[in-house]
């Protein structure tokens, strides 16, 4: 497939999208039969546009008459009214929060492929690199994997948005595959720190399917390279099997500029070895420590900590080895109230409780 080797794909996102009966399905911005990460890219292209209100509009997953067309259209001719998912006459945050996300992965009619484009290595296309914080981890440990787009030799030019379809080894992730989260990093994607980046993250903890989409919203592209986000993962405590490997794989990529033009990208796969647990690390094997709420959100101000042993010191460490000060306050026998550090970033953390018999370890996840 030599067309994948070209630096720029001369293909507009919507040239293959059929005109489906002038009906709007809220969230299916490109009208191709499914709501997914690519729809966020289209939403970003039309962001802040406005036009006629859609009569009788709702965000429920039902077909709705398009109504009066807007003056603006995507480059292929599809009307911007499809981006107005809630029908209020404006393309804005509400279309994402109230229609696209609630209807994510809903389908209708005949599906038309989105146009994901993976490039072959060794050409002049930018690449995505998955960079783990460690190449080996123990069962129960935290792992961080950065997602890096482009580099100094082959940077990303005219970046406007990217959508990724990925897969992970859900059977090796704690909490029945659920303890994996993604945090967007917008440093070079939003160099002026304008807050214009929109993103979404979806995971199916049973199948291990993941979708990530990130898009600017001011119709102006940027050039650059570097991290666009990172995964925080807690490995399952009990691993059955010999020398298993955790896998995170990018299956499909769509990288666009402000003109709907797709650039093929070299995808990546990373494997992290899971070692067998060995006694004698100073951890009390029969000790137990439980913290709640876990996962914890930004509104939580403190954790409730239960332990089977008296604690004389606590230590909170993230997947990069950074320490965050915590001071437990006694609240009962083997019970402590732990104020949460201010401005704790989202991600996976280790909490170590030091006792006279050894170290008790548990983990927690801070979400948005």
> Residue written as tokens 């994402």?
96
Output the pLDDT for position 290: 86
- Name the pLDDT band for 320 (thresholds 50, 70, 90): low
Each residue's pLDDT tens digit, 239-293: 655 568 999 999 999 999 999 899 999 999 999 998 865 443 444 444 478 888 9
**Under 8 Å between Cβ of 343 and 353:** no
Q: Average pLDDT of the chain? A: 87
Task: List, in order, residues 6 or more apart from 328 with CB less than 8 Å away.
Answer: 305, 311, 314, 336, 337, 338
Residue 13 reports pLDDT greater than 50: no
Q: How far apart are CA 100 and CA 94, in angstroms?
A: 9
Output the pLDDT for position 26: 97
**CATH no. for 289-366:** 2.60.40.1220
Output the pLDDT for position 328: 87
Residue 3 reports pLDDT greater than 60: no
Indicate the domain borders of the chain. Answer: 17-114, 118-274, 289-366
Output the pLDDT for position 242: 54
Output the pLDDT for position 321: 67
β-pair partners for 337: 304, 329
Token couple for 277:
């647990």
Mean pLDDT lowest for which of 158-162, 185-189, 319-323, 350-354?
A: 319-323
Each residue's pLDDT tens digit, 57-92: 999 999 999 989 999 999 888 999 999 999 999 999
**Under 8 Å between Cβ of 119 and 264:** yes
Mean pLDDT lowest for which of 105-119, 207-221, 337-351?
A: 337-351
- Name the pLDDT band for 182 (thresholds 50, 70, 90): very high
Mean pLDDT lowest for which of 102-116, 157-171, 331-345?
A: 331-345
Phi, psi for 197 (deg, rounded to 5)? -85, 130
Smallest CA-to-CA distance from 314 within 323, 192, 208 is with 323
Residue 4 reports pLDDT greater than 60: no
Q: How many residues does the chain have?
A: 368
Residue 206 reports pLDDT greater than 50: yes
pTM greater than 0.85: no
Q: Is residue 110 classed as helix, strand or coil in its secondary structure?
A: coil
Q: How far apart are CA 101 and CA 43, in angstroms?
A: 12
Q: How far apart are CA 165 and CA 213, in angstroms?
A: 9
What topology does CATH give the domain 118-274?
Immunoglobulin-like (2.60.40)
Q: How far apart are CA 261 and CA 213, in angstroms?
A: 16
Percent of the chain with pLDDT over 70: 88
Q: Is residue 41 classed as helix, strand or coil in its secondary structure?
A: helix
Question: Once rounded to an integer, what is the mean pLDDT over residues 20-39?
Answer: 91
């Amino acid at each position: 497939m030599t067309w994948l080797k070209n630096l720029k794909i001369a293909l507009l996102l919507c040239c293959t999208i059929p005109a489906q009966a002038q009906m709007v399905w809220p969230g299916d911005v490109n009208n191709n039969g499914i709501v997914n990460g690519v729809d966020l890219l289209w939403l970003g292209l039309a962001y802040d546009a406005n036009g006629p209100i859609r009569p009788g509009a709702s965000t429920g997953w039902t077909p709705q008459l398009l109504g009066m067309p807007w003056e603006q259209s995507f480059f292929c001719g599809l009307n911007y009214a499809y981006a107005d998912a809630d029908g209020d006459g404006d393309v804005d945050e509400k279309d994402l929060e109230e229609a696209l996300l609630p209807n994510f992965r809903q389908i209708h009619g005949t599906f038309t492929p989105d146009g994901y484009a993976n490039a072959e290595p060794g050409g002049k296309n930018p690449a995505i690199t998955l960079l783990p914080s460690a190449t080996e981890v123990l069962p129960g440990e935290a792992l961080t994997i950065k997602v890096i787009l482009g580099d100094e030799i082959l940077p990303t030019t005219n970046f406007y948005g990217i959508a990724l379809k990925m897969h992970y080894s859900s059977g090796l992730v704690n909490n029945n595959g659920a303890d994996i989260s993604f945090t967007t990093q917008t440093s070079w994607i939003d160099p002026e720190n304008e807050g214009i980046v929109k993103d979404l993250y979806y995971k199916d903890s049973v199948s291990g399917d993941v979708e990530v989409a990130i898009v600017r919203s001011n119709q102006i592209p940027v050039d650059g390279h570097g991290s666009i986000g990172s995964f925080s993962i807690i490995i399952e405590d009990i691993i059955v099997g010999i020398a298993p490997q955790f896998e995170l794989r990018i299956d499909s990529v769509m990288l666009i500029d402000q003109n709907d033009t797709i650039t093929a990208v070299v995808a990546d796969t990373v494997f992290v070895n899971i070692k067998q647990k060995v006694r004698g690390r100073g951890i009390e094997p029969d000790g137990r420590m439980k913290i709640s709420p876990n996962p914890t959100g930004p509104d939580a101000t403190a954790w409730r900590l239960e332990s089977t042993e008296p604690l004389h010191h606590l230590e909170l460490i993230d997947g990069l080895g950074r320490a965050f000060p915590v001071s437990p306050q006694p609240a009962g026998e083997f019970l402590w109230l732990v104020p949460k550090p201010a401005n704790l970033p989202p991600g996976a953390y280790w909490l170590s409780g030091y006792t006279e018999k050894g170290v008790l370890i548990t983990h927690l996840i801070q979400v948005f």
